[in-house]
C-alpha cells in the first residue's frame, strides 16, 4: 500500500499523457484550437450555451464579477465557509463583501440568512453561493430571492462539476446549466475532479456575458471590426476595456478534454468511497456529510465533524494519513477582520470550523488505502 495518503490527488493516465504529447507536437501551444474544443465540450457537459476557459478558478470568479459590473458602492453576499477567492473577487472589483451564515446541516449558504441581510442592507447587487464540498446549492430557491431583490447570481461550482439538484418541476439542474444562475465558475486544480495543473472555466447562457468574459480574459483587446475604431488592415486590434492575461494554454486544454471524458467515472467512484465512509462511521461519535435524495453530491471533499479534531488530525498524520481543514472562516482572516468582521458574527460557520476535518477522498484512492483510513479513525475513537 502506498503511503502517505493525501486528502486529495490528481489521477493522470496514459490517455491524458498522450493528449498532452499530441498537443506539444502540434502547431499551437496556446491560443489554438484545443481551448475552444475544451470550452465546447465542457459547456455541453453542463448543458449550457457558452464556456470560457481561463487560467484558474479565481480568474473565473474575477472575470465573472467584472462582467456583472460589480464595483465601488455595491455589495455582494457570499458564504464565510469557502476558499477566500469567493469573497476576494468582489474586493478586486472595489465592491463590499457581506457574509451570510451557513446551514449547519449542509454547510451551504443559509438562504434565510441571505433574505434577512437583503431586508436590512441597501445596494446589494449580487450573491455568490458556493457548492461546498460538491453539494449543490438549490439555485431555484435562491433565484426567487434574486428576482425579488434584483440580484445577479454567480454560482461558485469549483467543487461540483457533475453535481445536480432536482427543482420543483422534477428537472435535474446540473451545476453550470445556467437555468437559475447568471454565470457558474469551475476550477481544474489538481485536487479537483478535472485536473489541468491550473485552470478554470466560466459558464453562462448569456451571449453578452460570454463576450464580456472572453474580452476581459485577453487584456480587453479585440480584433472585431465592429468594435474597433480604426481598422488599418487584418492586423488591427484595439484595447477597448482594461482586461487581464487570464488565458488557458492548449496544453492544459488538451489535458482537460481527456479528463472530462472520465468525469462521470470519477464522480461515481467518489460516491462509492463516500458511502463506504458513511457506513463505516455510523457508530462513531462523528458527523458525516448530509446528502438529500434530491441532490447528486459530487464529493469533492468528505468532511466529518468531531469535537476531537486536532487530536484526530495528529493521530492520522502520525499514521501517514494526510487530512485537511476546509476552511477557516473567510471573515476571520486578518484582511477581513480589518474590514470590521469579528468572531461571533457567524456562529454556525465558526462552530463548523472548530470541528471539521476532510478525510482522504479522490477517485484513485484504493480500497486498501481507504480501509486503512477507516481502521485508523475507528481505532482512534475506540482508544478514547
DSSP states along 4-67? SB-S------HHHHHHHHHHHTSS-SBSSHHHHHHHHHHHHHHT-SEEEEESSHHHHHHHHHHH
**Cα distance between residue 347 and residue 354, in whole Å:** 11
Of residues 55, 28, 11, the one with CA closest to residue 251: 28
Calculate the CA 339 to chain-centre distance: 25
Task: Name the residue ranges covered by the structural domains of the chain.
Answer: 14-260, 263-383
- Would you identify the CATH topology of the domain 263-383? 3.90.1150
76-112: b or e for each residue (b if 16 or more CB lie within 10 Å)?
Answer: bbbbbbbbebbbbbbbebebbbbbbbbbeebbbbbbe
Listed in sequence order, the DSSP H helices in 203-337 are: 207-217, 250-260, 263-280, 309-318, 334-337
Q: Quickly tell me which residue has 498524520 as its cell.
A: 317
**Cα distance between residue 225 and residue 362, in whole Å:** 47
Q: Output the CA–CA distances (angstroms, integers) from residue 349 to 32, 107, 290, 355, in the order listed.
A: 43, 8, 16, 10
**Residue 119: enclosing H or E segment and its boundaries?**
helix 111-120
Helix (H) and strand (E) counts in the chain: 13, 14
286-308: b or e for each residue (b if 16 or more CB lie within 10 Å)?
Answer: bbbbebeeebbbbbbbbbbbbee
DSSP one-letter code for 209: H
Q: What are phi and psi of 213, to 5 degrees?
A: -65, -40
Of residues 233, 251, 89, the one with CA closest to residue 155: 89
On the question of a common fold for 14-260 and 263-383, the answer reads: no
Provide the grid cell at 193.
475532479
Of residues 351, 344, 20, 1, the one with CA closest to residue 196: 20
Quote the pLDDT of residue 343. 98
Q: Which CATH number describes the domain made up of 14-260?
A: 3.40.640.10
Quote the pLDDT of residue 274. 98
For the chain of 384 residues, list the mean pLDDT of each consecutive stretch of 10.
97 98 97 97 98 98 97 97 98 98 98 98 97 98 97 98 98 98 98 97 98 97 88 87 97 98 98 98 96 95 98 98 98 98 98 98 98 98 89
**Cα distance between residue 277 and residue 98, in whole Å:** 35
Amino acid at each position: 500500500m502506498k503511503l502517505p495518503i493525501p486528502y486529495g490527488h490528481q489521477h493522470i493516465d496514459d490517455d491524458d499523457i498522450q493528449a498532452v504529447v499530441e498537443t506539444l507536437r502540434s502547431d499551437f501551444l496556446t491560443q489554438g484550437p484545443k481551448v475552444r474544443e475544451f470550452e465546447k465540450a465542457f459547456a455541453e457537459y453542463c448543458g449550457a450555451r457558452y464556456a470560457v476557459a481561463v487560467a484558474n478558478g479565481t480568474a473565473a470568479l474575477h472575470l465573472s464579477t467584472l462582467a456583472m459590473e460589480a464595483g465601488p458602492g455595491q455589495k455582494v453576499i457570499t458564504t464565510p465557509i469557502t476558499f477566500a477567492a469567493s469573497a476576494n473577487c468582489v474586493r478586486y472589483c472595489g465592491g463590499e463583501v457581506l457574509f451570510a451564515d451557513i446551514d449547519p446541516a449542509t454547510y451551504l449558504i443559509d438562504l434565510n440568512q441571505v433574505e434577512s441581510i437583503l431586508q436590512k442592507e441597501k445596494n446589494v447587487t449580487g450573491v455568490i453561493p458556493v457548492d461546498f464540498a460538491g453539494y449543490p446549492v438549490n439555485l431555484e430557491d435562491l433565484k426567487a430571492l434574486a428576482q425579488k431583490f434584483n440580484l445577479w447570481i454567480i454560482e461558485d461550482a469549483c467543487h461540483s462539476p457533475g453535481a445536480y439538484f432536482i427543482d420543483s418541476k422534477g428537472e435535474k439542474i446540473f451545476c453550470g446549466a445556467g437555468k437559475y444562475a447568471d454565470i457558474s465558475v469551475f476550477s481544474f486544480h489538481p485536487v479537483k475532479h478535472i485536473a489541468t495543473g491550473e485552470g478554470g472555466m466560466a459558464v453562462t447562457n448569456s451571449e453578452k456575458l460570454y463576450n464580456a468574459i472572453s474580452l476581459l480574459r485577453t487584456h480587453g483587446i479585440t480584433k472585431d471590426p465592429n468594435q474597433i475604431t480604426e481598422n488599418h488592415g487584418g492586423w488591427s486590434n484595439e484595447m477597448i476595456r482594461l482586461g487581464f492575461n487570464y488565458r488557458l494554454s492548449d496544453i492544459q486544454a488538451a489535458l482537460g478534454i481527456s479528463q472530462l471524458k472520465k468525469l462521470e467515472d470519477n464522480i461515481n467512484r467518489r460516491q462509492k468511497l463516500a458511502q463506504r465512509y458513511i457506513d463505516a462511521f455510523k457508530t462513531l461519535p462523528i458527523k458525516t456529510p448530509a446528502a438529500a435524495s434530491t441532490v447528486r453530491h459530487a464529493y469533492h471533499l468528505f468532511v466529518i465533524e468531531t469535537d476531537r479534531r486536532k487530536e484526530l488530525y495528529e493521530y492520522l498524520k502520525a499514521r501517514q494519513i494526510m487530512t485537511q481543514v476546509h476552511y477557516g472562516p473567510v471573515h476571520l482572516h486578518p484582511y477581513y477582520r480589518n474590514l470590521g468582521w469579528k468572531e461571533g458574527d457567524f456562529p454556525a460557520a465558526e462552530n463548523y470550523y472548530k470541528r471539521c476535518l476532510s478525510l482522504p477522498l479522490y477517485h484513485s484512492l484504493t480500497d486498501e488505502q481507504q480501509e486503512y483510513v477507516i481502521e485508523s479513525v475507528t481505532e482512534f475513537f475506540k482508544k478514547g
